[in-house]
Amino acid sequence: MEKQEVFSGKTAEEAIETGLEALGVTREEVDVEVLDEGKRKLFGSVPAQVKLTVRRKLTDGERAVKFLEGLFSLLETDASPTLKEEDERIVIDLQTETTKGLIGRRGELIDAVQTLAGAVANTGRRDYRRVVVDCGNYREDREETLRHVAEKLAAKAVRLGKRVRLEPMNPYERRIIHSALVDNPDVTTKSEGKEPGRFVVIIPKNLRTFEKRDRGGRGKYGDRKGGYDRKGGFDRKEKYGDRKPYPKRELPAEGTPQSSGTSFKSSSGGYKKGGFSGFFGTYLGNSRDGEAEQTVEEKTPESFGTTTSDEE
């Protein structure tokens, strides 16, 4: 019940201050009704009187509901919040014609509304109270889906002997995964990463340690049937065997037709491979008798590749 009391003072303001001090409340927590403004007379005065009505203090859930009403009014949304439960946790149900527009993709919008409502409900509290905002049984359906996914992925982790990582979730959904597998004797769960990308990892108790596979029959040091040595270099002899000796090229003797185009002598002595000393095509030169040009057809095989000297 609301508490009402009447207080007096020289002025209405003084009567209000007296009443607030007596009730131990603030101005925002009471409704003020001025009964008499008070009058000053030639001899004496009539005191002012005010009636103070202490408003009922809102609960944590009621504060959250009142906040959401103002929020939806500003957003021009037809959603209507209703306090459904306020025991161990605070449950607020949203009534609206278009649930999809209020829930959002993967529940992003309704999760944001739930975060704001939780912040308002826990203002001034030392211990945190959990706040759940639901719309069209979305939370119940989502919880059932997450439990089914958790059991399915736990079986996969045990079958493969590998860790299985789930997609990033908010704390409420991660808690559902942990609670769904807390009694599973074959796996354990833990959360990794940082918000908002924090995720759950399912770890099987038969976790295997996988070794790197050999590719193409390679041995310990990466060789392919003995293709690489211990230092990581390629051992050609071990892979292909001894190398056959390369046959040496026999150079033709000097003065033969086959020696044309090869110079056996150089200024440094020895021979120079690839040097050109013979002449092909037409040879132009002065003979001892001043003869005209001599063509290749006029040359004999013995003189092919040999120049004519001007001196005897």
Tell me the pLDDT tens digit for each residue of 81-130. Answer: 999 988 888 999 999 887 877 888 878 889 899 999 999 999 888 888 99
Residue type, 196: P
Average pLDDT over residues 219-248: 58
Return all residues near 159 (Cβ < 8 A) that are at least 6 apart. none
Element (H, E) at 72: helix 60-74
Return all residues near 85 (Cβ < 8 A) that are at least 6 apart. 91
Give the model's pLDDT for residue 102.
85
- Provide φ and ψ at 106, rounded to 5°: 55, 30
Query: How far from chain centre, in Å, is Cα 140?
Result: 29
Q: Copy the structure tokens of residue 105.
A: 């993709």
Highest mean pLDDT among 1-10, 186-195, 207-216: 186-195
Strand duo 130-134 + 89-95: pairing: parallel
- Provide φ and ψ at 65, rounded to 5°: -65, -45
Nearest CA to 49 out of 63, 38, 39 is that of 38
Right CATH number for 60-136 from 3.30.300.20, 3.40.30.10, 1.10.10.60, 3.30.420.40?
Answer: 3.30.300.20
Position 269 pLDDT exceeds 90: no
Give the model's pLDDT for residue 11.
84
Domain with CATH 3.30.1370.50 in the chain: 140-204
pLDDT digit string (tens) for 28-80? 778 888 888 777 666 667 788 888 888 777 889 999 999 999 999 898 888 89
- Nearest-angstrom CA–CA distance, 148 and 144: 6
CATH of span 140-204: 3.30.1370.50
Position 210 pLDDT exceeds 80: no
